[in-house]
Structure 1
Amino acid sequence: MLPGLASLVNVTTVLLGATLGVLLGNRLPVRTRDLVTDALGLVTLLIAATSAMDVLSPDLSDAVGDSAPMLIVLGALLLGGIAGSLLRLEQRVEQFGGWLQRRLAGDAGSGDRARFIEGFVVSSLVFCTGPLTILGALNDGLGNGGDQILLKAVLDGFAAVAFAASFGWGVAASAVTIVVVQGGLTLLGLALGDVLPDAHLAAITAAGGLLLVGVALRLLRIREIPVADLLPALLVAPVLVEVAAGFH
């Protein structure tokens, strides 16, 4: 399979799932859609927990020592969060979602606009911060096949149905984010020529898991954490692993 083709399949499943979700959502009462969102929040929390457990990865401990992994993830979120806040990433993502809403759906009431933006932001974060996104896209670019992205495509398609039933067409707009993020990682894989070391990948996965916890808290309406501001943590984590490994 040609590099990047699996990501196109992923985009297609999200668009199909979102379309089906919108059609179903219009037939569901509000309380049922809220329940669907709660269920997604709980499942996202489960996925987040399994990803965050990579902080206990033996590969990471061997590279930096037993006590450093927690500090690396903490440092990645703090430094990444500071950088993301200064860059106003959350605000920019929301503005981009609003721009897409105006381009795709035209003028709408403030409630519909907010729902579109929330659907775009939440689904973009869920679809693009998990370990399958990072490892799958890199391996796709490295020529190791797109099996992981194809698996992700199936999962994302079902998730898109549930998300779109609650949030509407904003979920379909997240296909743009998938193209940019997964496409960029696939190109990075083509440039790297080799996969990331396991320790670096474990740190990225653990940090990504905590970001997904933030997404879950948003879905469960517990706290509106600006998760997009924390995205630079995914870049900071492997850098901190490299630094810590030098002192180990």
Structure 2
Amino acid sequence: MVLLGTLVNGAAIIIGSLLGLVFHNIPERYKTTIMQALALAVMLLGIQMGLQSEQFLIVIGSLVIGGWIGERIQLEDVLNRVGKWIEKRSGARGNEGAVAKAFVTATLVYVVGAMAVLGALDSGLRLDHNVLYTKSMLDGFTAVLFTATLGFGVAFSFIPVVLYQGSIALLAGQIDQFVPVELREMFITEMTGTGGIMIMGIGLKLAGILDIRVANLLPAIPVVAVIVTGMYLL
């Protein structure tokens, strides 16, 4: 089943979020320490990913162009509106905007990364779901921590994750047929570097150091594909 890995990933996020609710009422000082630890771990992951780039000018150019596009279409505002709609429909009470923040933060962490693309491609091309199974364990564990500190809005991030990875898995055959292996590997390398910078931004935001509109940088991913394709053809 092509979508098995993606569905397992979505289920892991939901289960992890439900487990996180058990720890949601822990004292605030514990939440603060856990959030700071998460922020540090996310920043380190971002650095590791960013250093994988082989042509850093592609990363810089993609982030600049992608950031401009994201600001023009106000992508972060769109995601926040979706999160607030979920918040309203779920009847959440208390800290206004908490569900939206949890939804957007978790979505960015789970979607931005090479494992989502590589795992979905493996699922679609070879029916090999091992990468997505590994990602599921990681996402499920972080969902517990995110939900304990940010709230149950994390659970709803399974929707964009399933849509994103599922689309790649279903289109994997066409991608394999029309995109040369060398071009695909080049794209994944530079996409990982670009995604790493975004992951770093998420970590800085979680730590309260900088309020970066990371979602507005998401168009940098398709920009990477355009730049890499142009360079490959030239």
| Structure 1 match to 2:176 | 193
2:217 is aligned with 1:230: yes
| Structure 1 match to 2:141 | 158
How far apart, CA to CA, are the structure 2 residues paired with 1:99 and 1:87? 19
| Structure 2 match to 1:140 | 123
2:104 is aligned with 1:117: no
Give, as a single letter, the amino acid of the residue that structure 2 aligns with 1:51.
M
How far apart, CA to CA, are the structure 2 residues paired with 1:151 and 1:25? 25
RMSD of Structure 2 on Structure 1 (CA): 1.4
How far apart, CA to CA, are the structure 2 residues paired with 1:218 and 1:99? 23
TM superposition score normalised by structure 2: 0.93
SS at 2:228's partner residue?
Answer: helix
Question: Is the Cα–Cα contact under 8 Å of residues 20 and 144 in structure 2 kept in the other structure?
Answer: yes
How far apart, CA to CA, are the structure 1 residues paired with 2:127 and 2:230? 29
How far apart, CA to CA, are the structure 2 residues paired with 1:9 and 1:189? 18
Residue 108 (structure 1) aligned to one of 72, 75, 93 = 93
Structure 1 residue 198, shift from structure 2 partner: 1.2
How far apart, CA to CA, are the structure 2 residues paired with 1:84 and 1:187? 26
Structure 1 residue 131, shift from structure 2 partner: 1.0
Residue 31 (structure 1) aligned to one of 5, 12, 29 = 29
Give, as a single letter, the amino acid of the residue that structure 2 aligns with 1:70.
F
How far apart, CA to CA, are the structure 2 residues paired with 1:138 and 1:232? 20
How far apart, CA to CA, are the structure 2 residues paired with 1:232 and 1:189? 21
The range that moved more, 14-23 or 196-205, is: 196-205
| Structure 1 match to 2:17 | 18
Structure 1 residue 242, shift from structure 2 partner: 2.2
| Structure 1 match to 2:113 | 130
Structure 1 residue 210, shift from structure 2 partner: 0.6
Question: Is the Cα–Cα contact under 8 Å of residues 67 and 217 in structure 2 kept in the other structure?
Answer: yes
SS at 1:55's partner residue?
Answer: coil
TM superposition score normalised by structure 1: 0.88
Structure 1 residue 144, shift from structure 2 partner: 4.6
2:153 is aligned with 1:170: yes
Residue 76 (structure 1) aligned to one of 58, 62, 79 = 62
Give, as a single letter, the amino acid of the residue that structure 2 aligns with 1:206.
G
Question: Is the Cα–Cα contact under 8 Å of residues 12 and 139 in structure 2 kept in the other structure?
Answer: yes
| Structure 1 match to 2:39 | 41
Give, as a single letter, the amino acid of the residue that structure 2 aligns with 1:12.
A
Structure 1 residue 54, shift from structure 2 partner: 1.5
Question: Is the Cα–Cα contact under 8 Å of residues 17 and 143 in structure 2 kept in the other structure?
Answer: yes
Residue 191 (structure 2) aligned to one of 204, 213, 219 = 204
| Structure 2 match to 1:6 | 5
Give, as a single letter, the amino acid of the residue that structure 1 aligns with 2:136.
A
Flag structure 1 segments of 5+ consecutive residues without an equivalent: 57-68
Question: Is the Cα–Cα contact under 8 Å of residues 87 and 97 in structure 2 kept in the other structure?
Answer: no
Structure 1 residue 245, shift from structure 2 partner: 3.4
